Amino acid sequence: MRIGVVYKFKPHNKLNGTLFYCYEYYRQLRKVYPQAKFLIVGIDEANLGLVEKVFHEKYENFYPMDLRPVRTVIDLWKIKLDRTLILDIDTFYQCKEFCTNDVHVFSNDTHEMYRYPDYRTVTYYGIYPYQRFDVECMLKLNFDIMRKSESKPGVFVSCLDMTHLKNNINRYEKEFERPIILKKSHEGSGSIFDDIDQVHYVHVQRDTNNRIIPEAFFHNKELTIEEVSWDDDSIKRRYNDIVDNGLDNYTLTLQDKMIEACLQ
């Protein structure tokens, strides 16, 4: 049986949460099925080196051979996976015609619930009201493979709207009186939690599957949330749930429904 996690590389947003989720699910699948693959479609050598660097900083026991670049979607078709796991709708719709057999997709955003007209099957997973899905399942993090962090005075300000950040950076510098660190999706660091003691999340719009909140709790960083948007999304739900119940609901295990479906 051929099992693979497939991700379509995004040159405009090279380092993003979905990329990390994909690697973490791949590592969980590999516990039971060592032949599992993590396939990154459309990544060039330079960007592959960037991802390898960041993964080495972020995860324990990372090896470059964990990442398998796939030049084109046609090459993906040639691999003939029996079970394909995809964790974002954008990747699925770019690659769907070149996926084979059973495809399992996390509905990180709204979509038209495409179904194959032939022998191939697709099962959608999700949990929030704005997601369309067949099976209820939350996207989780593989904390077991993350490196433990140190701590230095600094604040990571996370926000999906870079214009808002630029307009308010002086306010944040005065408010926190510590170095301010912002996301750099074209550079990035896998050890960012070593350089901060606080995460400040600015909630300006819907955040579909935020991971900085559970990671902040995992690394024991102070977490503050600035509400600009009132969307009922992964920000409020994850924060409130973790405060009340801890990280168990967000910890990836072999009992995750997407993991189980790929291994059955």
The answer to whether 104 and 85 are in contact (CB under 8 A) is yes
Select the more confidently predicted residue: 36 or 110. 36
Specify the long-range contacts of residues 215-222, CB closer than 8 Å, at least 24 apart: 215/141, 215/146, 217/242, 217/247, 218/141, 218/143, 218/146, 218/247, 219/148, 219/149, 219/193, 221/151, 221/193, 221/196, 221/197, 222/197, 222/198
Which whole number is the average pLDDT over 124-146?
Answer: 93
pLDDT at 99: 98
DSSP calls for 36-55: -EEEEET--HHHHHHHHHHH
- Percentage of the chain surpassing pLDDT 70? 98
**Whole-number pLDDT of residue 156:** 95
Residue 163: band (very low, low, confident or very high) from pLDDT cuts 50, 70, 90: confident
Task: Tell me the pLDDT tens digit for each residue of 223-242.
Answer: 999 887 666 667 878 888 99
Identify the band that residue 121 occupies on the pLDDT scale cut at 50, 70 and 90. Answer: very high
Q: Provide mean pLDDT across the span 176-190.
A: 83
184 pLDDT above the threshold of 80:
no
Mean pLDDT of the chain: 93
Query: pLDDT-derived band of residue 96, with 50, 70 and 90 as boundaries?
Result: very high
Which pLDDT score, from 0 to 100, does residue 131 have? 85
Average pLDDT over residues 217-222: 96
Average pLDDT over residues 49-68: 96
**In contact, 203 and 68? CB cutoff 8 Å:** no
pLDDT of amino acid 229? 65
CA angle (222, 129, 244) in 5-degree steps: 35
Nearest-10 crossing angle of helices 45-58, 17-32: 70
Quick check: 13 pLDDT over 70? Answer: yes
pLDDT tens per residue across span 185-211: 677 788 899 999 999 999 888 777 789
pLDDT level of residue 164 (50, 70, 90 thresholds): confident
Asked if residue 51 has pLDDT above 80, the reply is yes
Half-sphere exposure of 113 (CA within 13 A, CB side): 8
| Residue type present at position 8 | K
pLDDT confidence tier of residue 83, bands split at 50, 70 and 90: very high
Q: Average the pLDDT over 30-40 and give the result.
A: 97
Q: What are the residue ranges of helices labelled H in the chain? A: 17-32, 45-58, 73-79, 89-95, 162-176, 212-218, 234-245, 257-263
